[in-house]
Amino acid sequence: MQDISVIPATPDQKPVIANLIQLYLHDMTEFMPFPVEPDGRFAYDFLDRFWRFPYLVMAGNEIAGFALVIDECPLTGRQPCFFMAEFFILKAYRGRGTGRAALATILAHHPGNWHIATPLANTTALAFWQKATAPLNPATSEIQFEGDTWRLSAFTTSTTSATSPRPSGERSARSAG
């Protein structure tokens, strides 16, 4: 496995994540409908809302994916609670431990209560999250949100060995991996 790192995305990298979101939504159309706009792009109106703790996942010097973390759960309204708003690993890097390594780094940077929600229709993501979060013994439940059934995994990470990254917009030279 290549060296996997997770770096806070800067505002200058927002267009990079916007481009990756198009690939993410393309993959998601296998499980859920996403409308395509007249310009050929998938509609996505959440980037500004979810730009709180944005990350690029790197495999060596190559972009392998991204994650958008927010500090509230939009499905339950729970606060304080970190929520994995979006998490995407490019197909070329899946099945190699890239996603699990990225998740471990992100969780270490955000100790506390967490919610991760996955649409039940996305069986691939359900399998990933079940395996990736198993060591955390999450409490799981099914909830309805915007007409879909989601599996919500709730767990708490330790504060003993983690440090919180700077919010987006502040430069950080730290790279986790």
Within a domain: 169: no
The verdict on residue 166 lying in a domain is no
In a domain, 164, yes or no: no
Is residue 162's pLDDT more than 50? no
Q: Is residue 93 part of a domain?
A: yes
For residue 83, the enclosing domain spans: 4-157
Share of the chain above pLDDT 90, in %: 79
Mean pLDDT of the chain: 89
CATH number of 38's domain:
3.40.630.30
Rounded to whole angstroms, the Cα distance separating 8 from 168 reads 7
3-state secondary structure of 51: coil
Looking at the 3D structure of the chain, how many domains does it have?
1
Asked if the structure places residue 34 within a domain, the reply is yes
Half-sphere exposure of 11 (CA within 13 A, CB side): 6
pTM above 0.85, yes or no: yes
Share of the chain above pLDDT 70, in %: 89
* Separation CA 94–CA 88 (nearest Å): 10
Euclidean distance between CA atoms 33 and 99, whole angstroms: 24
43 within domain boundaries? yes
SS3 of 125, please? Answer: helix
